Amino acid sequence: MKTMKTPIIVDTTDHKWILLFRILELIRSREGKQIIAKHGMKPAHKAYSHLAILILSLFFCNDISYTIQEIEARPPLQKFLKIESIPKKGSVYRFLSSIDPDELLKMTFDLFHLVTSSPNVTSFSKQRRRRTIIIDSTSLSVDLNWHKKSYSKEQLENMFYGWGYSKSKKYYIGVKLTFAIDQKTLMPLGFMIHRGSPSDAVLLSEMLEQLKNRRILRKFDKIILDRGYYSYANYVMPIQKYHVIPLIAPKKGFSMKRLESLLPYSLFWFGTKRGKEKIKQQKAIIARLKKLIQDPHKIAEERSVIEDVFKFAKGNFSFEKIHRYTASSLQKMITLNALLLGLCIKWDIAEKKDLQRLANW
């Protein structure tokens, strides 16, 4: 027996449709189309038609075929989307295949910047002194019915996805998404996708390097992590290599003296102006860490907001079950989901209780 799909009926008085309208308005604006074209999606008006269908399908967790079918059958939906002509399914898939994943990611962050730099919104650059960044990971399943057909590790060896384990999902086939958000604005700052379920601890350096390369991470920023990242190495590396303050709720037996013994000052730092500055920076970071780490409950409370972000994303967009099976296509769909997530958060969330409200859309 086939499951009946929910019709996509426009309701411009519904809060979710109002948010979708704002997202589409941003993308089809003159500035939005300039960003689209800048990242290789030309002509921009045609690219918008394809992006509108992809966004609509993700927003309501429908496949592309059904979304196009609904658009063709419902003139009010065509009017709402403001597309010149309705692309065929094959055209949308070809468009998605042609997009460079890295350019799509850059487009997403350019659109975030467009929103945050508008006169009505406080700009990141204006509030940019010391940022608090929350980094956490969650498991994502690809849509394989492994209960019906068994898949061994050997069969999945050449696939991007693989067997993983998480406390919430138990055993699953999929990928691990590591996400970084701004603690104050909740905006997505970066993400990585890895096969199966690698340890959180080994992913930290890669994420910090990504944020540094994109000029998001700066000295003296606070990095909040959950206990999955706990290790002395994950205190030492961020301090010495990136000059940031790693906040990981310490486990029993943690010793600040031991950590300080692992943070020696290089002999090359002494006797030079630059070296003295490095010593001063490291001492300041250690002093700040000593003070902040005394309140593990506050660290846990600040970090918990990312769990609400994951809950919101999985409950309302297409993060939970992904119908893509290559590294490139997974990255593209997660990027588009991150775009929706970031814009909804930016326009509709002032504090944590708003995020919790939206998580129950």
> What is the predicted pLDDT for the residue at 144?
62
Pairing of strands 132-142, 170-182: antiparallel
pLDDT at 1: 42
Per the structure, the complete domain to which residue 16 belongs is given by 1-99
- Is 41 part of a structural domain of the chain? yes
- Domain tally, the chain: 1
Instruction: Please give the Cα distance from 295 to 313 (Å, whole number).
Output: 29
Maximal C-alpha separation, the chain: 78
Q: Is residue 28 situated within a structural domain?
A: yes
Say how far apart CA 197 and CA 208 lie, in whole Å: 19
Distance from C-alpha of 355 to C-alpha of 352, rounded to nearest angstrom: 5
Q: Is residue 326 part of a domain?
A: no
| Cα 77 from Cα 60, distance rounded (Å) | 13
For residue range 46-79, list pLDDT tens digits in order: 999 999 999 999 998 888 999 999 999 999 999 9
Q: Which two tokens stand for residue 291?
A: 């003070």
In eight-state DSSP terms, residue 249 is P
In a domain? residue 79: yes
Mean pLDDT in the chain? 83
C-alpha closest to that of 334 among 344, 321, 349: 321
Query: Look-up: residue for tokens 């080994």?
Result: 202
pTM, whole model, 2 decimals? 0.80
Task: Please give the backbone phi and psi of residue 194, each rounded to the nearest 5 degrees, phi first.
Answer: -130, 150
Q: How far is CA 117 from CA 31, 122, 123, in A?
A: 12, 7, 5
The three-class DSSP label of residue 208 is helix
> Given this model, what pLDDT does residue 267 score?
61
pLDDT digits (tens, 9 = 90+) for 137-178: 888 777 665 555 666 666 666 666 667 777 776 777 777 888
pLDDT of residue 251: 86
The pLDDT of residue 24 is 95
Place of tokens 């001492």: 283
Q: Are 156 and 123 in contact, with CB atoms under 8 Å apart?
A: no
- Give the pLDDT of residue 125: 41
| Residue 21 covered by a domain | yes
Give domain status of residue 209, yes or no: no
If we measure between CA atoms, which residue out of 336, 348, 360 comes closest to residue 57?
Answer: 336
Looking at residue 118, what is its pLDDT?
52
The tally of CA atoms less than 13 A away on the side-chain side of residue 236 is 12
Measure the CA–CA gap between 170 and 167, rounded to whole angstroms. Answer: 5
Residue 62 falls inside a structural domain: yes
What count of other Cβ atoms lies within 10 Å of the Cβ of residue 90? 8
Parts of the chain with a pLDDT under 70: 1-4, 117-129, 143-162, 169, 196-197, 266-271, 318, 320-322, 324-325, 349-361
The answer to the question of residue 69 being in a domain is yes
